[in-house]
């Protein structure tokens, strides 16, 4: 009895593998064919430095402490004002991707929309030190960030426009 059942199971197993063999494999030929990733896929973090005010929130919230920010204060004379205006200027913005765990907290926490997820993912390096990427590289990745999804048709208009 159990022997007959076992035989049936064996035949079913053979049938499954044979059917799979007859189907076309759907494997992407990755290095030859680049994958079409979903717009919200998390590849690498890009920086839009014009929006950065060096508030340091990202660096402080980062659980891995992998964001390095250096800056200095510039003063601009402001007309009709008692004091000159002070402004933060970014000197260095780097992310060490050897430490980064891609939690995205920096992107979430940035109040000025300076950090974005880019679907770019091919940045392997031969040396762990090369994985610390400076602002120039982070800026290049900015251009690979897909446009944000459109508003829902029946949603309230954005607050800024009201």
Partner 1 sequence: MRDVVALVLVTVAFLTLPLVIGQAEHKVMAHMQGRLGPMYAGGFHGWAQLIADGVKFAQKEDTVPARADRRVFLLAPGVALVPYLVVLAVVPVGPGQVAVDLSLGLFFALAVMGIGVIGSIMAGWASANKYSLLGGMRVAAQLVSYELPMVLAAASFAMAAGTLSLSGIVEEWRWYWLFWQAGAAAVFFVAGLAELRRPPFDMPVADSEVIFGPYTEYGGLRFAFFLLAEYAGILVLCSLTTVLYLGGWKGPFLPDVVWTLIKIFALAFVVIWVRVSFPRMREDQLQRLAWVWLVPISLAQLALTGVVKVVLA
Known binding positions for [4Fe-4S] cluster = 52, 55, 58, 62, 100, 103, 106, 110
Selected from 8, 13, 125, 130, the binder of partner 1 by CB under 8 A is 13
Using the rule CB under 8 A, is 103 a contact of partner 1? Answer: no
Instruction: Find the shortest distance in angstroms from Cβ 122 to partner 1.
Output: 19
Of the residues 2, 5, 17, 152, which one makes contact with partner 1 according to CB under 8 A: 17
Q: Which of 1, 2, 5, 29 is the binder for partner 1 (CB under 8 A)? A: 29
Query: Angle 33-138-150 (CA atoms, 0-180°, nearest 5)?
Result: 70
One of 10, 37, 86, 125 touching partner 1 (CB under 8 A): 10
- Give exposure, 17-46, as e/b (b: 16+ Cβ within 10 Å): eeeeeeeeeeeeeeeeeeeeeeeeeebbbb
- Kindly state whether residue 27 participates in binding partner 1, applying the rule CB under 8 A: yes
Of 25 and 154, which has the nearer Cβ to partner 1?
25
Sheet with 67-76, strands from edge to edge, namely 67-76, 85-96, 132-133
Instruction: Mark out the alpha helices in 43-151 (DSSP H runs).
Output: 57-61, 105-109, 135-142
- Beta carbon of residue 20, minimum distance to partner 1 (angstroms, whole number): 5
Residue number with CB closer to partner 1 (33 or 129) = 33
Binding residues: 52, 55, 58, 62, 100, 103, 106, 110
How many residues appear in the chain?
Answer: 162
Cβ 121 to partner 1, closest distance in Å?
21
d(CA 106, CA 115): 7
Burial of 139 (0-12, 13-18, 19+ CB in 10 A): middle
């Amino acid at each position: 009895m159990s022997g007959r059942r076992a035989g049936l199971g064996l035949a079913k197993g053979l049938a499954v593998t044979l059917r799979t063999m007859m189907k076309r494999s759907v494997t992407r030929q990755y290095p030859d064919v680049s994958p079409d990733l979903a717009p919200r896929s998390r590849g690498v973090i890009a920086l839009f430095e014009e929006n950065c005010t060096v508030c340091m929130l990202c660096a402080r919230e980062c659980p891995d402490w992998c964001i390095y920010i250096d800056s200095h204060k510039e003063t601009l004379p402001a007309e009709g004002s008692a004091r000159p205006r002070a402004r933060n200027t970014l000197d260095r913005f780097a992310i060490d991707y050897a430490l980064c765990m891609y939690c995205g907290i920096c992107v979430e926490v940035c109040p000025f929309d300076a950090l974005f997820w880019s679907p770019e993912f091919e940045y392997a390096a031969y040396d762990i030190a090369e994985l610390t990427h400076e602002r120039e590289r982070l800026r290049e990745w900015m251009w690979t960030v897909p446009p944000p999804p459109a508003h829902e048709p029946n949603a309230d208009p954005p607050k800024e426009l009201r």
